[in-house]
Structure 1
């Protein structure tokens, strides 16, 4: 881990909001869809959530009572929208469910960005959270291609300098994602090799 202090231009809340907003803007998901996914993620990660957090459990609701369901859904959507437009600060207990509620592509980028703040890699163990060996390997290959493409563009003149500034954040993200997938695959290979031996 690097001992150098990193300065960040965004708060953790801003990172969460940026990834969720980008996902909503670039997919067919709406803010309501994200709010529903967030509620589900909260209840799966924090099964005994405190009642004062007022997070509706849509899966446990009686769907025959449409008025109650719609009122809870609208109230929850407004709350999530206040977090998304930064009029209300995101509470710390919400970070993990928020990341889980993102679609896989945005979840991975968000995890990489949050982990890199501590000089860490966002390594997800193969076999956990729906990450199979083939998915991890395809991620490794895909991110290798991304890193090679970005690196080739940056290193075309044989060095990394201020001319490359616009491409550096994407290159760094690709390299971190590549490293995370490589570590996950290495750990899985070592684990299986140890079990066989």
Structure 2
């Protein structure tokens, strides 16, 4: 190998190493921003699984026939409104982030823990729940209601995904 070939090989090695280092610096900067945005989180997949488990438990509680439709819609005084038929404001229809939605809505059930930075919301759909009396009598056109549970992240980025779950209530009539 001649001296000229060795100098060219060394220059190619230095250029390759420089490109690798530059790419690693850029990717580590972006990865650091994503990870710092999710303070206290366990990663997207683990957080998503925890949200799905929590939404399942919340749907079980909200689907019970012991919780009346009037209480869900806020018609019973002394209880906070849970589902909003016409509201599109998440500030009104959602439990605050980092809180147990069952405690906020004063419902019985196990303590639910969701990943930090997610608000839990309940929305009604076009399939409105009939009265309990009509469901028990099996009146024509009396159907159970369909609701949407939604976990909305406070910040929308690659480290947090919105999640939703449909559920039917009251469960015996679904």
Instruction: Give the TM-score taking structure 2 as reference length.
Output: 0.24
Write 1 or 2 for the structure with the bigger share of strand. Answer: 2
Which has a greater percent of helix?
1
TM-score by length of 1: 0.22
